[in-house]
């Protein structure tokens, strides 16, 4: 029997005012894997369109379908596909998503929706006047 070992892995970069403050791995959750499989058949599920940040600290788990404690959600600034990688970028302007942030996720709706990925990280303090950019790359290998 042939086993290709197909995997989805990700990497997240968080920058405050254009300075990278954290680099973290992510978890492609079960709903995200199901989403990828459904998109191979058709496009009945909407494309990933938003990124959320929050203050939850529970470790990311395969069964996650939402952030632990969502603080803000914004539309993706850009989505780029390069061979077997897709990169999502979201920008949180001053006044949006402020506080001691500890988690992020990619979703396909402005509220609720299907979660593709979730990550939990050490506290990133985003002040009210700070801009934050999160760059999230997922590689299919």
Cα(134)–Cα(141) distance, integer angstroms: 22
| pLDDT by residue, tens only, the chain of 141 residues | 666 677 888 899 999 999 999 999 888 888 888 888 888 777 778 899 999 999 999 999 999 999 999 999 999 999 999 998 999 999 999 999 999 999 999 999 999 999 999 999 999 999 999 999 999 999 988
Helix %, strand %, coil % for the chain, to 5? 10, 50, 40
Cα(118)–Cα(94) distance, integer angstroms: 23
Residue 1 within any structural domain of the chain: no
User: Which residue range is the domain that position 42 belongs to?
Assistant: 17-140
Residue 4 within any structural domain of the chain: no
**What is the pTM assigned to this prediction?**
0.91
**Contact residues for 37 (Cβ-Cβ < 8 A; gap 6+):** none
pLDDT on residue 28: 86
pLDDT on residue 23: 95
Number of domains comprising the chain = 1
pLDDT on residue 37: 81
Residue 6 within any structural domain of the chain: no
pLDDT on residue 3: 63
Residue 51 within any structural domain of the chain: yes
Helices (H), 16-126: 30-41
Residue 91 within any structural domain of the chain: yes
Residue 113 within any structural domain of the chain: yes
Residue 2 within any structural domain of the chain: no
Residue 69 within any structural domain of the chain: yes
pLDDT on residue 78: 97
pLDDT on residue 1: 60
């Amino acid at each position: 029997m042939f086993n290709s070992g197909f995997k989805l892995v990700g990497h997240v970069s968080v920058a405050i005012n254009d300075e990278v403050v954290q680099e973290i791995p992510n978890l492609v959750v079960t709903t995200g894997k199901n989403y990828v499989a459904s998109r191979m058949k058709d496009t009945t599920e909407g494309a990933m369109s938003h990124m959320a940040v929050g203050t939850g600290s529970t470790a990311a788990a395969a069964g996650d379908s939402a952030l632990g404690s969502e603080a803000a959600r914004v539309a993706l600034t850009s989505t780029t596909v390069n061979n077997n990688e897709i990169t999502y970028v979201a920008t949180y302007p001053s006044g949006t998503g402020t506080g001691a942030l500890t988690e992020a996720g990619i979703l396909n709706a402005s509220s609720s929706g299907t979660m593709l990925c979730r990550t939990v990280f050490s506290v990133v303090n985003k002040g009210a006047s700070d801009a934050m950019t999160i760059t999230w790359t997922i590689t299919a290998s």
